[in-house]
Amino acid sequence: MSSSIASTKADSKIPLVDLQAQYRSIQSEVDAAIRRVLDRSSFILGDEVLAFESAFAKHVGATGAVGVSSGTAALQLALRALGVSRGDEVITTAHTFIATAEAISNIGAVPVFVDIDPVTYNIDPAEIEAKISERTRAILPVHLYGQPADMTAIMAIAEERGLWVVEDAAQAHGAAIDGRRCGSIGHLACFSFYPGKNLGAYGDAGAVTGNDPEVLDRIRRMRDHGRTTKYEHVEVGYAERIDALHAAVLGAKLPHLESWTDARRSHARRYSELLEGAMVEVPVTRDGFRHVFHLYVVRSARRDELLARLREEGIGAGIHYPIPLHRQPAYVALGYGDVSLPHTEAAAAEVLSLPMYPELTDEQIQRIVATVRASVA
């Protein structure tokens, strides 16, 4: 095994994500979209934004989509539009990127962290009920790594207790449960088009999707200074519009998303097949759930050793996420130091993301797997 690793271009690096490979594969379409915006010099809202919003809503299977300046902005605007405000509690997960909780904190609301299901890494619906108080207004599940959270159970709890559900779908473009796409199931859903996401802009961008036209209109107004006409502002809003340039780039990329997702899913199958019998746990996908593998995450008690070895071999592995949110200094300072979430803490110590992007080659996957096997044999 080790001699074959040495012979397969051990010097060439394999990044965690390769944005250049994607750009090269669609360069003429993206360049044409950018040129179109420059030629018209219409940079704020307008046709490019409207066209992308309607194409994206259609892709998600939602009534509408509102393009905003980032996934974080999408989360904040969604919570605000549903009336979540100061002192309200929002139930969420601590095993996620900090933006999930920041959006709650930055509108004066309070994140209440619930432990994860240790198999899927998503919020455990069975743990939600016990954390609901009279101040709870919403549940904010994250479809982590691209696998849908258990939305059937979450929607049932929300309905029974009169709570809003906002999906954090920042990692879940095209993910679905029994054919129903993430982004169309909760009351609202938030997407990020950060460059490394499954659908990425060339800078920060995001969107809120949903099925209630009135709520979507409120978000459309809020992202644009609470404006109803050029000089009339009915509420204090934000400057959180999506840029026309990003909308044009995203519009050029969207038709490719399905084939990119298929490639990710096929790379994931290949990884799992080749890792069979190796001393790492591979991702488990729930029946009927379409996992879109924003990240391919394995688990090992010897994670740190494995990470060091992969890096030595020029393989860009990552950890998503090494410090749970209740252990982040930012949240310890807010009084979360005593919160205990055993499954979340265990996952943070053991998860490892292997390179994942549509353009990954089988040869690269084989080299990565050989390195994993050699270091945890």
Ligand X SMILES: *Cc1c(COP(=O)(O)O)cnc(C)c1O
Binding site for ligand X (CB under 6 A): 70-72, 96-97, 99-100, 142, 168, 170-171, 192, 194, 204, 206
Distance CA 306, CA 372 (A): 7
Q: How far is the CB of 172 from ligand X (least distance, A)?
A: 9
Cβ-based nearer residue to ligand X, 95 or 220: 95
Cβ-based nearer residue to ligand X, 163 or 295: 295
Segment 295-298 long-range contacts (CB within 8 Å, at least 24 positions apart)? 295/145, 295/146, 295/171, 295/320, 295/353, 295/356, 296/145, 296/267, 296/268, 296/271, 296/353, 296/354, 296/355, 296/356, 297/121, 297/145, 297/351, 297/352, 297/353, 297/354, 298/351, 298/352, 298/354, 298/372
Residue nearest to ligand X (CB): 71
Cβ-based nearer residue to ligand X, 296 or 369: 296
Backbone phi, then psi, for 228, in 5-degree steps? -105, -35
Cβ-based nearer residue to ligand X, 114 or 274: 114
Q: How far is the CB of 248 from ligand X (least distance, A)?
A: 18
Q: How far is the CB of 207 from ligand X (least distance, A)?
A: 10
Distance CA 160, CA 157 (A): 5
Q: How far is the CB of 28 from ligand X (least distance, A)?
A: 27
Q: For residue 177, what are the β-bridge partners?
A: 180, 289
Cβ-based nearer residue to ligand X, 163 or 166: 166
Cβ-based nearer residue to ligand X, 192 or 375: 192
Cβ pair 300, 350 in contact under 8 A: yes
Q: How far is the CB of 79 from ligand X (least distance, A)?
A: 13
Cβ-based nearer residue to ligand X, 96 or 344: 96
Q: Where are the beta strands (DSSP E) in 204-304?
A: 206-210, 227-229, 232-233, 289-290, 296-299
**Residue 72 is inside which H or E element, if any?**
helix 71-81
Q: How far is the CB of 290 from ligand X (least distance, A)?
A: 17
Angle at 201 between CA 200 and CA 206, to 5 degrees: 85
Q: How far is the CB of 106 from ligand X (least distance, A)?
A: 12
